[in-house]
Amino acid sequence: MIADGVEDEEKWLAAGIAGLQQNAFYMHRALDSNNLRDALKYSAQMLSELRTSRLSPHKYYELYMRAFDELRKLEMFFKEETRRGCSIVDLYELVQHAGNILPRLYLLCTVGSVYIKSKEAPAKDVLKDLVEMCRGIQHPVRGLFLRSYLAQVSRDKLPDIGSEYEGDADTAVDAVEFVLQNFTEMNKLWVRMQHQGPAREKEKREKERSELRDLVGKNLHVLSQIEGIDLDMYKDSVLPRVLEQVVNCKDEIAQYYLMDCIIQVFPDEYHLQTLDVLLGAFPQLQPTVDIKTVLSRLMERLSNYAASSADVLPEFLQVEAFAKLNNAIGKVIEAQPDMPILGVITLYSSLLTFTLHVHPDRLDYADQVLGACVKKLSGKGKLEENKATKQIVALLSAPLDKYNDIVTALKLSNYPRVLEYLDTETNKVMSTVIIQSIMKNKTRISTADRVEALFELIKGLIKDLDGAVLDEVDEDDFKEEQNSVARLIQLLHNDEPEEMFKIICTVRKHILGGGPKRLPFTVPPLVFSSLKLVRQLQGQEENPFGEEESTTPKKIFQLLNQTVETLSNIPAPELALQLYLQCAEAANDCDLEPVAYEFFTQAFILYEEEISDSRAQITAIHLIIGTLQRMHVFGVENRDTLTHKATGYSAKLLKKPDQCRAVYACSHLFWVDDQDNVKDGERVLLCLKRALRIANAAQQMSNAARGSTGSVTLFVEILNKYLYFFEKGNPQINVAAIQSLIELVTTEMQSDSSTPDPAADAFFASTLRYIEFQKQKGGALGEKYEPIKA
Amino acid sequence: MNFLIGAFKPACNISITFSDGKSRKQVPMKKENGKTVMVPLFQSKESIAGKVSIEPLQGKKIEHIGVKVELLGQIEMYFDRGNFYDFTSLVRELDVPGDIYERKTYPFEFSTVEMPYETYNGANLRLRYVLKVTVSRNYGGSIVEYGDFMVRNYSSPPPINNSIKMEVGIEDCLHIEFEYNKSKYHMKDVIIGKIYFLLVRIKIKNMDLEIRRRESTGSGANTHVETETLAKFELMDGAPVRGESIPIRLFLSPYELTPTYRNINNKFSVKYYLNLVLVDEEDRRYFKQQEITIYRQRDS
């Protein structure tokens, strides 16, 4: 049925074109033979094809364009005709003899164009006549095209100032009058389309109307091109009259399109100077008009205008642009009670962008906007609508983008209040946006107050909000969020220790509520941040003013102790252990023996009580050994206790090779190169021997269990430890011990039961090469090596 | 045979010439056989003068009992078996009875002739002026020749010429107000006006303005009325809404009008009407007819 309609339409169009071409052919012939009577007859017949009611606007346009081309030729002919002595006035009458109105008016406009050019009558009179006569076409589509033709032929003939058709003093008024009248009539026809025809074709009609809208809008464009319209005229007559038509037509499509048109075609400075008039029209529009888009575009344009030159900014202040816009938005929202919340937010969002561009210094404006937004949102609860929340994110991101500085945004008291209305998910998104902004701009947030405010803003990431659903959270997303929080914590810094300490306390306060899933992400950066502060203080004289309250490493360590403890409760013992060790090392550097001891104790307790996984144990024990080795703060007794414990743990590891490695690592605990009081050669040897025993045991176990001995790697590793201490001058490590170890390895390797292990072979070979190398290098070390036979 | 030919041919050639024939304006006139010929144009109270030439055929003489020229104003009703009514009849005797042997020329003059009516060629009648030359004979019948001319009378613009303004309508359906700038128009005039739509509840397709000519002949029960639409001029295309006002500008010059004739010699009238016609989408016609007066204005 519909397909048939389209096909029919094609047929009708084809028939129309054929008829038009045929008559155009006869018309050309008449033109060629200068036969005016025939030319008029055939042109009228040709134009009669435009009388059709069967074509959609789209197809009609095609037909119209063909007629248009022909009319250009006819116009040339008329011009020549007047040069041949035919009076233009007679010609103007002659074409009006045509019986059918549509051809008559097309011809009249065509002759009218020549008439104006001839200057035998003032342009304004001819134009006035034409625009009046066109009233005869009341059919919307035909009328719109006819008037569009009139607009087209007249646009270069307006009696504008500076034009060759310029008239008397009020010439621009005449030009405006003409365009406005044509515009008004066209708009009326356009609006009327909506109400003609059956209701079920409403959608089709609206589509057709939108195809025609540019014909109407063109008039506004022409209007904007009239030189003679100065600001006063625009303000006093042009704009009010255009708006009057827009408001009075009471048509949704027209109002939306035309308001947008006005905003786009007239210069920004005019908009600025006529803001009250322009804005005054908005609340009068139909409640269904999409005002938010139009108004947003206006604000966008004004923003760009403000950005274009600093010179125009005073104008904005002078006309109180912000107050007017703000006021207008309020009124529009009031006038359209059914406006979805999305619209409201979009409007405020645009206003915010506007004020940020135009009045970057007026934070209070921005805050006002946010406040107004909060007011509108209040009582609506959390926003469910996806688009609306997105728009809020845009709204809240705007100040961040503008100032590149969260600090400024933090001064906006209404900022967090808007955030309240976001659902958890969006809240997180917004928090991420904020953090990203900080990181991108490397914003320094350097006071505890601001940190407090900031964390209040991003609390969606910091803790579970009420009623939040915990499941459904993507693991990766979660990690990413928390990592960004971690990065943020690292960024908070103040050179002033007092303030930094406050910052740390603030952050701590916030993150501790984060729950077991967040703490592993947030505690480490806080710890390291604190340690950084410790290191900073460490360089200074302690307590330079002797004030009790001032920040001391001790105080920080106390805080750290409590902080890390939260991790062990989660539980995240491995992480806690690492952090304890870090703290211990820092305490060591601060010469705080008891503190360091305490941290170690905590670490050991964790090791004993919480870390049961053998692999974790291995890692932990090596960390402990490594850290302990570097500690210099401990007295002999404490150190003994700790090393003893560590060695003990080492020997109790599950797998023999792990035991072996831990034990030989422990040897370092007794020999610290730069600490003369820790050079206990004997205990080093003991450790190494013990390691050897364990290695042996491992070989035997392997032999017993699998029928072949394991790799000799352990032996080679121990050999390397021997060589290390040998070089460092441990008297207990002598050539003989090394020699026998080399032989042991050699024997083991040659044993039948040994499993071939190329890596171990290579390791051993390169160890031997090292010995040879040292020998050849000579010097004191070379001499020492000399007796060893590889 | 020669005798026969001679019997049917007129015995002489009669020609009528007007004394100012070269300078006088000639206008086209349609003859009964459909041909158009150019004839001189006169108006009332002009003198009609000229010459009548009678030239007998070679070697013949014409015996007559008198030669006269008449100026006749006639109304001919087509339905009345072609009867003529002469409303004007003037005679000039040109010659006393005698014989004409060779070409003979008689001047004649009708001075200041009252010709109150215009030449008119209508659907059911015609009004014509003619010069009739009669050569009367005792036998063989009289020889008659006619000379046509036309009469047009000019009026000066009427001192009172009101506009026509009227509100018409169909209750709750259509109310319009229309205005024509005058009630009396000269033949090359232009009708200016407008139609204002006060109420539109029907779907109008278009609106035309027609010029209708109403020719009535006879009187009483024998009245014959012939109406003819001379112009159909489209004023509006499409459906207007309330409050629209549609301009009218109709040039009368392209149409073949005559002045309005009222009760000419108690025989006939020719009247003109403007008929405003609105056509709706179901092709129903709504119309209102108004008489206008047409007069002939002297060309400036």
* pLDDT above 60 for B7: no
Are B254 and A132 within 8 A, CB to CB?
A: no
By C-alpha distance, which of A68, A26, A27 is closest to A50?
A: A68
Residue A1: predicted pLDDT: 41
- Binding-site residues on chain B for chain A (CB distance < 8 A): 206, 231-241, 244-247, 249, 251, 253-254
Q: Which residues of B touch A197 (CB under 8 A)?
A: none
Q: Do B232 and A99 touch (CB under 8 A)?
A: yes
A441: tokens are: 């701009």
Query: Residue B247 and residue A104: Cβ atoms within 8 Å?
Result: no
On chain A, the residues whose CB falls within 8 A of the CB of B245 are 135
CA dihedral of A238, A239, A242, A246, whole degrees rounded to 10: -170
User: Is pLDDT of B271 > 90?
Assistant: yes
Q: Which of B233, B238, B245 sits opposite A137 (nearest CB)?
A: B238
Pick from A93, A101, A143: CB nearest B234? A101
Q: DSSP letters along A214-267, please?
A: HHHHHHHHHHHH-TT--HHHIIIIIHHHHHHHHHHT--HHHHHHHHHHHHHHS-
What's the rounded Cα separation, in Å, for the pair A59 and A713?
A: 89
Q: Which residues contact A747 (CB under 8 A, 6 or more apart)?
A: none
What SS3 class is residue B85? strand
For residue B140, pLDDT over 80 is answered with: no
**Residue B68 has what pLDDT?**
95
Q: How far, rounded to the nearest angstrom, does the alpha carbon of residue A416 sit from its chain's CA centroid?
A: 19
CA gap A646, B180 in Å, rounded: 120
Chain A: residue whose CA lies nearest to B255:
A97
Q: What whole-number distance in Å separates Cα of residue A252 and Cα of residue A741?
A: 97
Indicate if the alpha-carbon torsion angle A110, A116, A120, A123 is positive or negative: positive
Task: Give the best residue of B190, B237, B249 to mutate against chain A (max A CB count within 10 A).
Answer: B237
pLDDT cut 90: percent of chain B above it: 78
Bigger pLDDT: A584 vs B236 = B236
Residues in chain A, pLDDT under 70: 1-5, 381, 465-473, 539-550, 709-710, 752, 790
Is A140 in Cβ contact with B241 (below 8 Å)? Answer: no
ipTM of the complex: 0.91
- Burial class of residue A95 (count of CB atoms within 10 Å of its CB; 0-12, 13-18, 19+): buried
| Mean of all residue pLDDT scores within chain B | 91
Check CB contact of A135 with chain B, cutoff 8 Å: yes
> By the CB < 8 Å criterion, does A271 face chain B?
no
Report the alpha-carbon distance of residue A144 to residue B194 in Å, rounded: 21
Q: What is the pLDDT of residues B170-216, one digit of tens each?
A: 999 999 999 999 999 999 999 999 999 999 999 999 999 999 999 99
Chain B interface includes A41 (CB < 8 A)? no
pLDDT for A539 equals 67
Q: What is the pLDDT of residue B168?
A: 94
Interface test with B, best of A41, A93, A128, A135 (most B CBs within 10 A): A135
Please, which pLDDT band fits residue B1 given cuts at 50, 70 and 90? very low
Amino acid A141 reads: V
Residues of chain B with Cβ-Cβ distance to A130 below 8 Å are none
In A404-517, where does DSSP find H-type helix?
406-410, 415-419, 424-441, 448-457, 459-462, 475-491, 497-511
Q: Which of B185, B188, B178, B189 is nearest to B162 (CA)?
A: B185
- The rounded distance, in Å, linking the Cα atoms of B187 and B231 is 13
Asked whether the beta carbons of residue B247 and residue A132 sit closer than 8 angstroms, the reply is: yes
pLDDT of A286-322, one tens digit each?
988 988 899 999 999 998 898 888 888 888 888 888 8
Mark residue B259 as left, alpha or beta (left: phi above 0; alpha: psi -120 to 50; beta: remaining).
beta
Q: How far apart are CA A694 and CA A38, in angstroms?
A: 123
pLDDT tens per residue across span B16-39: 999 998 899 999 998 878 899 999
pTM of model > 0.80: no
Q: What integer pLDDT is reported at residue A158 of this predicted model?
A: 92
Can you give the pLDDT at residue A57? 92
CB contact under 8 A, A142 and B237: yes
Q: Of A396, A403, A323, nearest to A356 (Cα)? A: A403
